[in-house]
Amino acid sequence: MSLKHDIGFTLNGVKKRVTVDVGMTALDMLRDVVGLTGTKYGCGEGECGACTIQVDGLSMNSCLMFAVDCDGRDLVTIEGLAADPRADALREAFVEHGAVQCGFCTPGMVVQAAHLLATHPDADAETIKRGIEGNLCRCTGYKKIVDAIESACCGGK
């Protein structure tokens, strides 16, 4: 039997209480305990960014985070961004630029892009490329993703 621990946190603006295994990742908690499957498991090692979420306003790999460390914190996942009007421009830009192919990287990419735009409102293409260094995409070749983020960034200039 693995040790369990009760934690409470805010998830996409709503207070949650759950019981988790102490060795479990935040990603497994989101997908298997809470049941929000928008956040993806790619590598489980911090390399691909498919599991990116925001914790207290900062993007992190949920596969590297202990679920117990979510206690008392403010989590935003792709489901939260889907309901957030501030992310409208970003979502629309991804669609318009064809920045989505198979879509597996997309939730992590959009969460990371939202964090990037919040911290660098006037990001240029170079800043955007550096900002998504931790997000792999096997399909698009990144160009369309960078274009999409750039256009959302400057309010679709």
Ligand X SMILES: Cc1cc2nc3c(=O)[nH]c(=O)nc-3n(C[C@H](O)[C@H](O)[C@H](O)COP(=O)(O)OP(=O)(O)OC[C@H]3O[C@@H](n4cnc5c(N)ncnc54)[C@H](O)[C@@H]3O)c2cc1C
Site string for another protein, 80-119 (x = CB under 8 A): --------------------------------x--xx---
Stretch that binds ligand FES, among 10-18, 75-83, 95-103, 125-133 (CB under 6 A): 95-103
Q: Among 157, 44, 33, 153, which residue's Cα sits nearest to residue 108?
A: 44
Q: Minimum distance between the CB of residue 46 and ligand X, rounded to whole angstroms?
A: 3
Q: Among 100, 141, 99, 109, which residue's Cα sits nearest to residue 40?
A: 109
Rg (CA), the chain: 16
Stretch that binds ligand FES, among 2-10, 48-56, 110-118, 119-127 (CB under 6 A): 48-56
Pairing of strands 14-21, 4-11: antiparallel
Q: Which parts of 39-58 interact with another protein (CB under 8 A)?
A: 44-47, 49, 52, 55, 58
Q: Among 86, 97, 75, 73, which residue's Cα sits nearest to residue 7?
A: 73
Handedness of CA 132, 137, 142, 148 (dihedral sign): negative
Site string for ligand X, 6-45 (x = CB under 6 A): ---------------------------------------x
Q: Which one of 6, 13, 23, 47 is in contact with ligand FES (CB under 6 A)? A: 47
d(CA 79, CA 64): 20
Site string for another protein, 3-42 (x = CB under 8 A): x-x----------------xx-x-----------------
Q: Which one of 59, 77, 106, 140 is in contact with another protein (CB under 8 A)? A: 59
Q: Where are the beta strands (DSSP E) in 22-157?
A: 52-55, 58-61, 74-76
Binding site for ligand X (CB under 6 A): 45-47, 64
